[in-house]
Structure 1
Amino acid sequence: MSLALEPVADPTAPLARRNPVAKLGAALLFSLPLIATLDPLTPALALAVELVLLPFFGVRPLVLARRAWPLLITAGGILVTMVMFAAERTGALLVELGPFAVTTGVLSTALALVLRVFAVALPGIIVFATTDPTDLADALVQNAKAPARFAIGALAAFRLIPLLAREWQMLTLARRARGIDAGRNPLAKLRLFGSTAFALLVGALRRGVRLATAMDARGFDSGMPRTYARHQRFGPADTALLLGAALLSAAALTTSILTGFFNPVLS
C-alpha cells in the first residue's frame, strides 16, 4: 500500500502553471453544477471536456489512470447497489437474476451515477496531480485569505498521509511476524483489517496531538503577521481559468436542458 501525493504532471504545461487557488476554484466551479441533475448527458459532456483538457495540464493518461483507479471500485459498487436495491425498475427487462430484475431504466440510472462520480472526482485528481501541496497552502493563505492555522494544519495532515501508508505496512508485517494471520478465512480477514485500522487510528490521533502541540510551540497560531518564502501571484490568466471553467460547466448544463435530458435533483 503506497500513496504518491506529490505533483506528477509536466510543470511547463500551460494550465499546470496556474495559481493553485485558481485551479482549485476552477475544479469546484466545473464540478458543482454536475450534482444538480441526474441525467447521464451532463456528466458525459463534462467528462469529455476534462479528457480533452488533460494534455494542457501536463497529465499523461496512464498517470491519471493510476491516480483514479479507486473510482473503478466505486463504479462497480454503484452498479451492484443499483441492481440489487433500485426502487424503480422502469424500461425493458434485460436480465432477471432471481429476485433482481435488470432493466434499461436501472442501467441508465447507474450509468448516470457512475459518470457523475468520474466527472466530479477527476478535476480534483488533476488539481492535486499538478499542484505542490506547499504552494497550495501558501496560495490559500495569500490569495484566498484562508486562516494560516487551517492552511498549514491541512498541509501538515496532507504530508502525513504517506506516513500512514507506511505505518499500515509496518503494522501488517509486525502482526504477521507474531503469527497473527487470517489465512483464507474472510471473516478473520475482516476482523484483522478492523483491528489494524483501529491501531492505525490510535497512532494517527497521538501523532496529531503531538504535531498540534509542536506547531503551537513554534508560533504557528501567534496571530502575528507572517512572511512567505514563495509568493503566489493571481494574474489575468488565473481569472480566465475560473471564467472558462464556469462557462464550460454552464454550457454542459445548458446542452442537457436544450436536448431534454435535464433531470433536476430537486423537482
Structure 2
Amino acid sequence: MALRVSIGQYYSADSVIHRLDPRIKLTATVVFMVSCFFVSSAATLALAAVAVGACIALAHVPAGRLLSQIRPIALFLVVTSVINLFFVQTGDLAASLGPIRIFTGGIEAALLYTLRFFLLLLAGSLLMLTTQPVALTDAAEKLLAPLERWGVPVSQVTLILSIALRFVPTLSQETRNIVAAQTARGADLEGKGAIAYARACVPLLVPLFASALRHAENLGRAMEARCYTGGAGRTHYHELKLVARRDLPFAFGVALYLAALVALSLLA
C-alpha cells in the first residue's frame, strides 16, 4: 500500500514566486480561486490556464511534484465530470446507449467545470509548495488582523492552522512507518478495489490516532514549558515586509488578469 501525502510540504527553490511576500501570494491565490467560479467560456478558461501556467513556470516547481498534491482529490474531479456529463441535458444529442443519453451541453459542462476546478487546485498546490507553512500562517494572521476588533481570535486560529500544516508531513511519515511495521508482522495491506482498500486501512487507524494524540500532548507540554501565551503583543522572528520592486509587478499582473477576465466575460 503506497501512502504518500505531499500536502503541506514546501518545495525549496530560488524563484520569483518563492521570493514574493506571502501576503501577496495568499491574496492572489484567493482572488484567483474566486475568479475560477466566474470562468464560463473557452476564452476565460484559456486566460485562467495561461495565468496558472505562467506562475508555475516562474516558480520552477517540477510538474510531477505539483500534480502529486492533486492526486488525492483526483476522484473529486472525476465525479464532478461524470455528474455534469450525464445530468446536464442541454444542446444536441451527442451519443445514446439505451436510457443513457449524452448531450453536447453535458460534454461542455463536464470539460468546463472539471478544468476550472483543476486550475483552482493547481493554484492552491502552487501556493503550498512555494510558501513555508509558518510564512503562510503569518500572512493569514496579518491579513485577518482587523477582525480582532470584533472579537475574532485570529492569532489562535492561525496557530491551529500552522500546527495542522506542520504535522501533515509528520503524520504522513508516521503512516508509512505503521504500514511498514504492519507488513513486517504479516498484515495484508494490499487490498484491491475501493472496499478492499478501505478495509486495509482500518488496521492503521488506531495506531495512527494514538500517534497523533502523542504528538499533540508533547507539543502542548512544550508550549506550556515555554510559557506560550500568544494573542496581542506577540512578535515574530521574521517580520513581513513589502518590497515594491519585488511585489508590485506581480500585484499588477493579478490586476491585469482580473481586468482581462472581466472584459472577456462581458464580451461573451
TM-score of the alignment, normalized to the shorter chain, above 0.5: yes
Instruction: Decide whether aligned partners of structure 1 residues 54 and 176 sit closer, same or farther in structure 2, where only a CA change above 3 A counts.
Output: closer
2:251 to 223, 242, 259: 242
* Per-residue Cα deviation, 1:112-143 (whole angstroms, up to 9, x for no partner): 11111122122221122211222323444456
Higher relative contact order (Cα pairs below 8 Å, separated by 6+ residues): 1
Q: Is the 8 A contact 1:21 1:144 kept in 2?
A: no
Q: Residue 159 in 1 paired to residue 166 in 2?
A: yes
Q: Is the 8 A contact 1:33 1:253 kept in 2?
A: no
Distance 2:169 2:230 in 1: 29
Q: Which residue is 1:119 aligned to?
A: 119
Instruction: Decide whether aligned partners of structure 1 residues 94 and 141 sit closer, same or farther in structure 2, where only a CA change above 3 A counts.
Output: closer
Moved more, 44-53 or 134-143: 134-143
* C-alpha RMSD over aligned residues: 3.1
Matched residues, percent identical? Answer: 26
Q: Residue 7 in 1 paired to residue 7 in 2?
A: no
Distance 1:216 1:42 in 2: 51
Q: Which runs of 5+ in 2 are unaligned?
A: 149-153
Q: Which runs of 5+ in 1 are unaligned?
A: 260-267
Higher helix share: 2
Q: Is the 8 A contact 1:40 1:115 kept in 2?
A: no
> Where in structure 2 are the equivalents of 1:65-144 lying within 5 Å?
65-70=67-72, 72-84=74-86, 86=87, 88-141=88-141
Distance 1:60 1:179 in 2: 37
Q: CA deviation at 1:10?
A: 3.0
* Per-residue Cα deviation, 1:45-98 (whole angstroms, up to 9, x for no partner): 2012211332223334444334444464433232233344x1x31223333344
Distance 1:243 1:216 in 2: 44
Instruction: Decide whether aligned partners of structure 1 residues 24 and 183 sit closer, same or farther in structure 2, where only a CA change above 3 A counts.
Output: closer
Q: Which residue is 1:47 aligned to?
A: 49
Distance 1:209 1:42 in 2: 49
Instruction: Decide whether aligned partners of structure 1 residues 194 and 92 sit closer, same or farther in structure 2, where only a CA change above 3 A counts.
Output: farther
Distance 2:77 2:120 in 1: 13
1:204 to 206, 209, 212: 212
Q: Is the 8 A contact 1:9 1:60 kept in 2?
A: no
Q: CA deviation at 1:109?
A: 0.6
Q: Residue 231 in 1 paired to residue 239 in 2?
A: yes
Q: Is the 8 A contact 2:39 2:116 kept in 1?
A: no
* Counterpart secondary structure, 2:16: coil
Q: CA deviation at 1:159?
A: 1.5
Q: Is the 8 A contact 2:85 2:102 kept in 1?
A: yes
Q: Is the 8 A contact 2:36 2:120 kept in 1?
A: yes
Instruction: Decide whether aligned partners of structure 1 residues 202 and 138 sit closer, same or farther in structure 2, where only a CA change above 3 A counts.
Output: same
Distance 1:82 1:257 in 2: 25
> Where in structure 2 are the equivalents of 1:181-192 lying within 5 Å?
181=188, 186=193, 187-192=195-200
